[in-house]
A and B are shown apart, each in its own frame.
Chain A
Amino acid sequence: MRFNSRAWMVWVLVVAFLAMFARNPLYSIILLALSLLAIQYYARIESPVRSMFLQISLGILLFSAIYHALFIHIGDHVLFELPQWPLIGGIITVEAIADGFRNGLVLIALIATFMALNTIVPSRELVRLVPAAFQDLAVVVLIAITYVPETRRHLRRIREAQAIRGHRPRGFRDWRPLILPLLVGGLERAMRLSEAMVARGHVSERAENSRAPERILLIAGLFTALIGWVMAILWGVSGYILLSLGGLVLVLIVVRKGRRVRRTSFVAVPWTATDTILVFTSLAALILVIAPWPVIGRLSLSYVPYPLLKMPEFHPLVGLALILLSFPILMGMTTQRDHDRMTEPDQNATSSREGIRQAR
């Protein structure tokens, strides 16, 4: 069971959006669980964050709790009182500590969401999501990803080569014999590489570029976005619209530029019905939460533990949104069961290509 990277992107963005806004710890915990389960069922890539996730989470909770305790001196349950030191002096309350935990949870949920993106979507596909207008930059990143292992080997070779002429790494000055050959060798390699690219028909969009009206539009869009941001901060909704307008202008330019790029793509990743459902359920969940409902108004994701700590409430409509977001988890559970029955060794990254090939 595998979803299209673009569909995943939509899911991740919606979950991240909610995770950012949800101050209610119940919602945060569920969102965190969703991300962790998604990783459980779909992860294909090792991530250093994943192996240290527990430690990172505990660290964040602890830090956030202490920070809140020291800086917020509100609440009915007073644990003790610090003398009137500057900044942190005052009463230390259970409410503030609880709020600290709640706040830490928001951050952890957000990190987990992006961890899901990082572990589920392989880097190559991540780069493929780059719009055609940024083709040149995507090629740069692809080259960089390609040459990272090569560069590591090169560095190892250089280290050996310097060792055999008596080089002993001791201090910062000893970076020189390692970095300079790496740098010069790298640039020489870049010369040869660019020749190979040109010889194989690579052409950049130089000729296409610098259409003055487009660039003026770009500046105008950026300016609109800035005004929108200021207004959103000061007055709310109207600013949001302006900011979106600025964003829209940019998207428009990107699409237009992309259209002019004459290129085809080799890997056509299949888009299946489940991908459509994933996008649909994700967007539905988003709309559920942000839509201004007739009678009840906009759903609240907030929770304030002050002045008295109380149980956070759980709104059924938010619950519905969270159920919609759990679609990939449910799919993962069912296919996982099939998978267990077949007891086949798990496929690795290459088999996605197999799948693609069979799908053609």
Chain B
Amino acid sequence: MIEIKDLCYSYPKAENPALLDITTHIERGEFILLAGPSGAGKSTFLRSLNGLVPHYSGGSVKGRVFVDGIDVFDKGPRRLSSVVGFVFQDPEAQNVLDVVEDELAFGLENAAVSSSQMHQRIDEVLNILELTDMRDRQITTLSGGERQRLAIASVLVMKPKVIALDEPTSQLDPQSAADLLRFLVQLNDEWGLTVVMVEHRLERVARYADRILYLENGRLTLDEPMELGLAHLDPEGSPPLVRLSRTFGWDPMPLTTTEGSKQAGLASLTIHTPEDSQETLYPVSGDPLLRTRDLHFSYGNEAVLRGVTLEVRAGEAVALVGKNGSGKSTLLKCLVGLLEPGRGDIWLQGESILGHDVSDICQEVAFLPQNPDDLLFAESVSEELEITLQNHHLNPAQLSRSPAELLERLELSDYAESYPRDLSVGQRQRVALGAVVIPEPRIVLLDEPTRGLDYGAKRRLMDMWDQWRKEGVGFLLVTHDVELVARACDRVLILDQGVIVADGPTAKVLDSSTIFRPQLSRLFPGSGWLTVNDAVDGIGDRLS
């Protein structure tokens, strides 16, 4: 289906090539996982499949790409639009029109498909992706997951033979991501659609993919069937299950927890009940830094928070998890004063902050919103920090840590004079973090801090948090990333329909939850093991 020969590509004015000597062959109906660290050329590779590279981006290209026998570089994206369907990362920036049906028709209208055929194809696609009920809806009223499904639907109407997806689940919660994958698998199985998908979270996709292509610095360093590929992957970047099975040399490599349990069973690992008390990583001291009681909030008639009581102590990292729409972001906004709770109270170090100005609260309670780009507008990274200081009428001499030191901690010293928008996602995230923590707050609130980050960037972020926690800063983070929670948090709160339904040590809460459960907890239920290290230590103890 896809034939790539000696593909090299450089962006205009770039020093290093984005793709180098790539040769591979993809069969009809294969499900390909395209992985690799940020900036390795995954998106570029994907865009070379339909001619966006180089027809759209410019730059120089060598080698050949054939899709379904069509010379991509020769024919260009218009010809390829009916062969390769393309789904992008951001659900909010790929719809051209505002009503579901019209959006689906856009490509067909461009291709001058007749009206009757158009209706037939649209009906069919709506049916497959279970969007029929939403055909008249305004796209802005759809959830992120539904929007991504619509994005798939709107390329599917073109009857493509290949569908290329650029991190389609990175902005979705676990449930929506799983749904989306289910549809893709169905399309792959039943329609024989060839799928090429870029994804950071291998644990989500590994079990469905036939083959993994791994890119590093523009080179294809791995091109193997899934199980074999995983075995050769850098352990840091692989899913917990894979790392565990490699530690114990399980063969064949399990890709799902069910397979994993069998392996664990074969290895006759029986699990004893863990000791109840889990030690926190850092000394958690005395009175809570931040405390709320019976917090209520409603948007109009719709009650979003219905009596939330929580506390965060110095040096503690608390995770707040919950389904979409459970009120997590609303809660964070209430805590920093962006929203005024209808009832209840919030105390910061014993003092009520209700009715205080947002900018006053934020000197003590830093809040990093989901999209770091909303914060950044200055010409350089260091200017971003200065702007926050100016806003608060602080001068660097009043700080215990100078802006330069903060940048060093954020590993941004080399980029102090760079234009923030030119940096990678992970770096922009850290610049934004710097811009909110420069006034040296006691508490840091993070909303989905790992969205779109690769493993390396995530680990770096966690290491940074640890430094602050040692200094007594408390963290409250909202996230869907349970593996992150398992590795970095002491305590977990589960928010459901505006009420905290669970509050306790990470191992205990995650282990007894059905939805928010890391891979290893599913593998060893009741063990209290959440991370590979837990399991290796635990199993090691037992064997010795």
Judge A-B direct contact (beta carbons within 8 Å). Answer: yes
Give the interface of A toward B (CB within 8 A). 124, 139, 142-143, 145-146, 149-150, 154, 157-158, 160-168, 176-177, 180-181, 184-185, 188-189, 192-193, 195-203, 262-268, 350, 353-354, 360
* Chain B nearest Cβ from A202, distance in angstroms: 5
Q: Is the CB of B436 within 8 A of A150?
A: no
Q: Name which residue of chain A comes closest to B332, CB basis.
A: A164
> What sequence of 0s and 1s flags, for each residue 129-154 of chain B, a beta carbon within 8 Å of any chain A beta carbon?
00000001001100000000000001
**Contacts of B103-141 to chain A: CB distance below 8 A:** 105-115, 118-119, 122, 136, 139-140
A163 proximity list for chain B (CB < 8 A):
338, 358-359, 362
State in angstroms the CA–CA spacing of A268 and B88 once bound together. 30
Q: Is the CB of B88 within 8 A of A192?
A: yes
Question: Given B52, B99, B359, B367, which contacts A199 in the complex, CB threshold below 8 Å?
Answer: B52
Q: Is the CB of A150 within 8 A of B140?
A: yes
* Chain B nearest Cβ from A195, distance in angstroms: 6
* Chain B nearest Cβ from A313, distance in angstroms: 51
Quick check: is B94 within 8 A (CB to CB) of the other chain?
yes
Q: Is the CB of A180 within 8 A of B388?
A: no
Q: Is the CB of B119 within 8 A of A360?
A: yes
Q: Is the CB of B371 within 8 A of A157?
A: yes
State in angstroms the CA–CA spacing of A353 and B105 once bound together. 14
Quick check: is B487 within 8 A (CB to CB) of the other chain?
no
Q: Is the CB of A146 within 8 A of B98?
A: yes
B398 proximity list for chain A (CB < 8 A):
none
Question: Given B106, B373, B439, which contacts A181 in the complex, CB threshold below 8 Å?
Answer: B373
Q: Is the CB of B374 within 8 A of A161?
A: yes
State in angstroms the CA–CA spacing of A309 and B448 once bound together. 75
What are 24 of the A-B contact pairs (CB < 8 Å)? Answer: A139-B96, A146-B97, A149-B98, A157-B371, A162-B375, A164-B436, A165-B435, A166-B359, A167-B391, A177-B387, A181-B374, A181-B376, A188-B421, A192-B90, A198-B52, A199-B50, A200-B86, A201-B78, A201-B110, A201-B111, A263-B110, A264-B109, A267-B102, A268-B115
Q: Is the CB of A266 within 8 A of B338?
A: no
Beyond A180-B377, A185-B374, A195-B56, whether A166 also contacts B113 by CB under 8 A is no
B155 proximity list for chain A (CB < 8 A):
199-200
A199 proximity list for chain B (CB < 8 A):
50, 52, 77, 81, 84-86, 155
Beyond A166-B388, A176-B377, A193-B93, whether A264 also contacts B119 by CB under 8 A is no
Beyond A199-B77, A264-B109, whether A166 also contacts B98 by CB under 8 A is no
Known pairs A266-B109, A354-B136; list 20 more (Cβ under 8 Å): A124-B102, A149-B140, A160-B374, A161-B375, A162-B375, A164-B367, A165-B391, A167-B359, A184-B421, A192-B94, A195-B52, A196-B94, A200-B81, A201-B78, A201-B158, A262-B112, A263-B110, A264-B109, A267-B105, A350-B136
The 3 closest A-B pairs by CB, nearest first: A166-B391, A266-B105, A201-B81
Chain B interface size, as a band, is 35 or more
> What sequence of 0s and 1s flags, for each residue 62-105 of chain B, a beta carbon within 8 Å of any chain A beta carbon?
00000000000000011001101110101011111111011001
Question: Given A168, A177, A203, which contacts B377 in the complex, CB threshold below 8 Å?
Answer: A177
Question: Given A139, A160, A180, which contacts B338 in the complex, CB threshold below 8 Å?
Answer: A160
B77 proximity list for chain A (CB < 8 A):
198-199, 201
State in angstroms the CA–CA spacing of A188 and B155 once bound together. 22
A197 proximity list for chain B (CB < 8 A):
96
B85 proximity list for chain A (CB < 8 A):
199
B110 proximity list for chain A (CB < 8 A):
200-203, 263
B81 proximity list for chain A (CB < 8 A):
198-201
Q: Is the CB of B107 within 8 A of A200?
A: yes
State in angstroms the CA–CA spacing of A150 and B141 once bound together. 11
B382 proximity list for chain A (CB < 8 A):
none
B363 proximity list for chain A (CB < 8 A):
166
Q: Is the CB of B102 within 8 A of A165?
A: no
Quick check: is B401 within 8 A (CB to CB) of the other chain?
no
B54 proximity list for chain A (CB < 8 A):
none
Q: Is the CB of B118 within 8 A of A264?
A: yes
Q: Is the CB of B115 within 8 A of A263?
A: no
* Chain B nearest Cβ from A228, distance in angstroms: 37
A160 proximity list for chain B (CB < 8 A):
333, 338, 369, 374
Q: Is the CB of B387 within 8 A of A196?
A: no
State in angstroms the CA–CA spacing of A158 and B77 once bound together. 34
Quick check: is B392 within 8 A (CB to CB) of the other chain?
yes
Quick check: is B20 within 8 A (CB to CB) of the other chain?
no
A264 proximity list for chain B (CB < 8 A):
108-109, 112-115, 118
State in angstroms the CA–CA spacing of A292 and B137 once bound together. 52
**Contacts of B413-460 to chain A: CB distance below 8 A:** 421, 435-436, 439
**Contacts of B382-405 to chain A: CB distance below 8 A:** 387-388, 391-392
Question: Given A166, A181, A189, A263, which contacts B392 in the complex, CB threshold below 8 Å?
Answer: A166
* Chain B nearest Cβ from A336, distance in angstroms: 25
Quick check: is B461 within 8 A (CB to CB) of the other chain?
no
Residue from A142, A154, A162, A262 whose CB has the most chain B CB atoms within 10 Å: A162
B139 proximity list for chain A (CB < 8 A):
146
B371 proximity list for chain A (CB < 8 A):
157, 161
B98 proximity list for chain A (CB < 8 A):
142, 145-146, 149
State in angstroms the CA–CA spacing of A15 and B333 once bound together. 53
A139 proximity list for chain B (CB < 8 A):
96
* Chain A nearest Cβ from B439, distance in angstroms: 8
* Chain A nearest Cβ from B102, distance in angstroms: 7
Quick check: is B334 within 8 A (CB to CB) of the other chain?
no
Q: Is the CB of B109 within 8 A of A142?
A: no
A267 proximity list for chain B (CB < 8 A):
102, 105
B336 proximity list for chain A (CB < 8 A):
164
A150 proximity list for chain B (CB < 8 A):
92, 140
* Chain B nearest Cβ from A217, distance in angstroms: 27
Q: Is the CB of A181 within 8 A of B78?
A: no
B94 proximity list for chain A (CB < 8 A):
192-193, 196
B107 proximity list for chain A (CB < 8 A):
200-202
Residue from B88, B113, B363, B377 whose CB has the most chain A CB atoms within 10 Å: B377
Q: Name which residue of chain A comes closest to B365, CB basis.
A: A164
Q: Is the CB of B140 within 8 A of A198?
A: no
B388 proximity list for chain A (CB < 8 A):
165-166
Q: Is the CB of B92 within 8 A of A266?
A: no
Q: Is the CB of A353 within 8 A of B362?
A: no
A193 proximity list for chain B (CB < 8 A):
93-94, 96
